[in-house]
């Protein structure tokens, strides 16, 4: 019997009441079970086909994504792939036409909490995040290469730092008032820098542990007034996270005059940098974890490459296993 005829007979039996069920319950049960198995088989088949198509398109666009991760510009990546016939031009164009995005690791200037950049220019490979008055729950950047640590890279014009996380100082212009970035919990771990400097930071709990440096000066000062903090703000912004990428510079600032920017948790992990110092300054932090970082320019212990100066203050302090070892500059 064709499946349509069988299905119609089942409906007719159900429509005419329970008499057929009472007369032959096993026959009715077997029909219901066959209908169940047929339906589930179709669902499983469609799910399997969907996964196969998704895997196919992911594989087709992989070469373009891999080239972008290596720092190649979108236009050059398209030219290389089309010339080499690595993938169909339509697949490449479809991915290139997607707008830049923080979550996908695209460079540009972002105004938190927006995922799309407010400024994007081909050839400008800086990842800049301007924090405003809207509190952000989580900012996470991990597994990136920064500065001159990859081929054909350079710091942006008039910039000297590979990585900088900072509030802005008060300047001569009376229209601009300095500010800070307030962070509930800041995690700085597994950075590789030629120099790592902490300056003008208020922390309640300061944990400096397991760092290795080619010369270090760690001399924070105690303060009885530094308070523990966490950032709420009610309807605060969603998390901003990105993983992987190559940038000429990473710059995170408090962008509004006289307004402290607020982030509940910020984790900057596994940054491999070269070409300039890594700098943290003008921050107010509940808990700061500075752990598992390596800093060094191969210039000997007399020149300090890990610097936590006296303008960094704490209420609770832990200094564990921070060692001086010979460390050459990043390759």
Across the range 285-312, mean pLDDT stands at 96
The most confident of 38-47, 163-172, 229-238, by mean pLDDT:
163-172
Are residues 61 and 142 both part of a single domain? no
| C-alpha distances in Å from residue 3, one per residue of 9, 20, 27, 28, 148 | 10, 20, 16, 15, 67
Look at 317 and 88; give whichever has higher pLDDT: 317
The upper half-sphere exposure of residue 31, i.e. CA atoms within 13 Å in the direction of its Cβ, equals 20
Rg (CA), the chain: 29
Paired with 217 in beta bridges are 307
Give the pLDDT score at 114. 87
User: Which stretch of 3-12, 28-37, 159-168 has the lowest confidence by average pLDDT?
Assistant: 3-12
The answer to whether position 255 is within a domain reads yes
Are residues 151 and 267 both part of a single domain? yes
CA distance 124 to 21: 74
| The last residue of a domain, from among 51, 68, 85 | 68
**In terms of Cα–Cα distance, which of 239, 218, 248 is closest to 317?**
218
Confidence check: pLDDT of 63 > 80: no
CA distance 326 to 308: 19
The answer to whether position 279 is within a domain reads yes
Are residues 56 and 196 both part of a single domain? no
Main-chain phi, psi angles of 40, to 5 degrees: -65, -35
Are residues 311 and 199 both part of a single domain? yes
The answer to whether position 286 is within a domain reads yes
Are residues 186 and 288 both part of a single domain? yes
Confidence check: pLDDT of 94 > 50: no
Main-chain phi, psi angles of 154, to 5 degrees: -160, 150
Paired with 205 in beta bridges are 287, 316
Using the Cα atoms of residue 229, residue 233, residue 234 and residue 237 in order, give the sign of their dihedral: negative
User: Which stretch of 41-50, 155-164, 233-242, 292-301 has the lowest confidence by average pLDDT?
Assistant: 41-50
| The last residue of a domain, from among 21, 50, 68 | 68
Are residues 240 and 317 both part of a single domain? yes
Return the axis-axis angle of helices 74-84 and 89-96, rounded to nearest 10°: 170
Give the pLDDT score at 3. 54
Mean pLDDT across the chain: 82
The most confident of 21-35, 66-80, 165-179, by mean pLDDT:
165-179
The answer to whether position 119 is within a domain reads no
Give 191-205 pLDDT, tens digit per residue. Answer: 999 999 999 999 999
| The last residue of a domain, from among 25, 51, 68 | 68
278-291 and 181-189: which strand pairing?
A: parallel
Are residues 64 and 197 both part of a single domain? no
How many domains does the chain divide into? 2
Are residues 276 and 173 both part of a single domain? yes
Across the range 93-113, mean pLDDT stands at 78
Structure tokens at 32: 């219901």
The answer to whether position 101 is within a domain reads no
Give 216-270 pLDDT, tens digit per residue. Answer: 999 999 999 999 999 987 777 778 999 999 999 999 999 888 889 999 999 999 9
Domain extent for 231: 129-324
Helix (H) or strand (E) run with residue 105 in it: none
Are residues 17 and 161 both part of a single domain? no
CA distance 91 to 87: 7
The answer to whether position 318 is within a domain reads yes
Give the pLDDT score at 92. 45
């Amino acid at each position: 019997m064709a499946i349509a005829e069988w299905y119609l007979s089942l409906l007719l039996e159900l429509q005419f009441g329970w008499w057929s069920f009472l007369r032959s319950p096993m026959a009715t049960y077997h029909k219901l079970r066959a209908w169940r198995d047929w339906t589930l088989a179709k669902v499983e088949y469609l799910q399997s086909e969907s996964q196969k198509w998704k895997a196919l398109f992911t594989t087709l666009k992989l070469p373009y994504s891999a080239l972008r991760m290596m720092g190649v510009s979108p236009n050059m990546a398209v030219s290389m792939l089309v010339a080499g016939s690595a993938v169909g031009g339509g697949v490449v164009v479809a991915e290139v036409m997607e707008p830049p995005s923080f979550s996908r690791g695209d460079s540009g200037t972002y105004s938190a909490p927006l995922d799309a950049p407010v400024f994007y220019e081909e050839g400008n490979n800086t990842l800049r995040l301007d924090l405003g008055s809207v509190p952000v729950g989580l900012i996470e950047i991990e597994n990136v290469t920064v500065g001159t640590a990859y081929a054909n890279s350079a710091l942006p014009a008039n910039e000297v730092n590979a990585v900088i996380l900072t509030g802005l100082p008060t300047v001569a212009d009376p229209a601009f008032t300095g500010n800070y970035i307030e962070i509930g919990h800041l995690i700085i771990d597994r950075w590789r820098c030629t120099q790592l400097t902490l300056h003008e930071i208020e922390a309640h709990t300061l944990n400096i542990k397991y760092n290795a440096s080619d010369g270090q000066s760690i001399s924070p000062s105690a303060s009885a007034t530094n308070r523990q903090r966490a950032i709420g703000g009610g309807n605060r912004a969603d998390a901003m996270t990105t993983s992987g990428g190559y940038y000429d510079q990473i710059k995170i600032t408090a962008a509004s005059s006289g307004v402290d920017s607020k982030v509940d948790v910020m984790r900057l992990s596994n940054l491999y940098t070269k070409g300039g110092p890594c700098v943290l300054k003008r921050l107010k932090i509940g808990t700061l974890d500075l752990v598992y970082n390596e800093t060094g320019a191969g210039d000997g212990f007399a020149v300090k490459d890990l610097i936590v100066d006296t303008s960094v203050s704490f209420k609770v302090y832990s200094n564990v296993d921070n060692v001086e070892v010979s460390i050459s500059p990043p390759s």
